Copies of this chain bind each other. A is one copy, B any other.
Amino acid sequence: PPSPLQPPGLPLAPCRSFSNNKIQVELDESSGVAMMKFKSPPVNSLSLEFLTEFSISLEKLENNRACRGVIITSAVPKIFSSGLDITEMCGKSMEHYTEFWRAVQEIWLRLYGSNMVTVAAVNGSSPAGGCLVALSCDYRIMAENPKFSIGLNEAQLGIVAPFWFKDTFVNVVGHRIAERSLQLGSLHPAPEAYKLGLVDELVPEEKLMEKAAAVMAQWLALPDHARQLTKTMMRKAVLDRLVAHREEDIKNFINFVSKESIQKSLRKYMEMLKKRK
């Protein structure tokens, strides 16, 4: 039994952990909760390698009967995840684009369709694909730091969020807010994100993990089976839509990313990012 001095959420022994290059996972078998930490500095960008590790980690947890929930957070200060790695979209082969985009789809299908309880502890900024990761969880808690922002800001870069990013977003914030936010490519500071319903809760940064563990415990108090069927009922229509149009969606991505105008705009964006450092 946990000691009364043990703050909730800190995993107790016995504990199984595995760590690859970019993601660290610790499973506390006594509580059934895994802690997944993105540790790919400088900005946890979703490279093909990152996505592959992410996918394998989720699969391992999903198949582990001792694991009932996962808290996703970042080990890199100030950033949750910067989203898709733009270098994967610049000057690469068709085969590479195909493999990359399939990996992006895979992560979303796994996470949005996960049988586990998924809680995002958003402890830094979370643009574009980083926001998608958070949106795909069951619950989003964000550090109440107005310097941290979150949103699907693809339009700012001259690109369009795929329809399943949009579907996921609409399911969270509704049509009106999604329409405006996607068109403007808005990055919402934490307080605004909370007001819009994009995140469910704000807490002081130092309380974030404690709160995530408490929320997880609340969700795990319910029997898994009914909760999982309910989740499937809520998310199936949107998941099925990508499954039905997966190859078409890959083709769209390749067509789009192959355009010289898009390549130019992405290169420009990368140079700007480099200068910022």
Contacts and interface: CB of A to CB of B under 8 A. Distances in A.
Given A172-B176, A176-B172, A182 B230 contact: yes
Chain A interface residue bracket vs B: 35 or more
A275 interface: no
A200 interface: yes
Contacts of A197: 176
A138 B172 CA distance: 20
Nearest 9 pairs between A and B by C-beta? A158-B223, A171-B175, A160-B229, A155-B226, A179-B234, A158-B226, A182-B230, A183-B230, A172-B176
A38 interface: no
A26 to B, nearest CB: 24
Contacts of A234: 166, 175, 178-179, 182-183
A171 B170 CA distance: 10
Interface in A140-198: 154-161, 163, 166, 170-176, 178-180, 182-185, 197
A102 interface: no
Specify how many copies of this chain sit in the oligomer.
Answer: 3
Nearest to A155: B226
6 contacts: A170-B175, A171-B179, A174-B175, A178-B234, A183-B219, A223-B265
Contact of A154 (B183, B200, B226): B226
A78 interface: no
A105 to B, nearest CB: 17
A112 to B, nearest CB: 11
A231 B173 contact: no
Given A179-B234, A179-B235, A182-B234, 9 more contacts: A158-B223, A158-B226, A160-B226, A163-B233, A166-B230, A171-B179, A174-B175, A184-B219, A223-B265
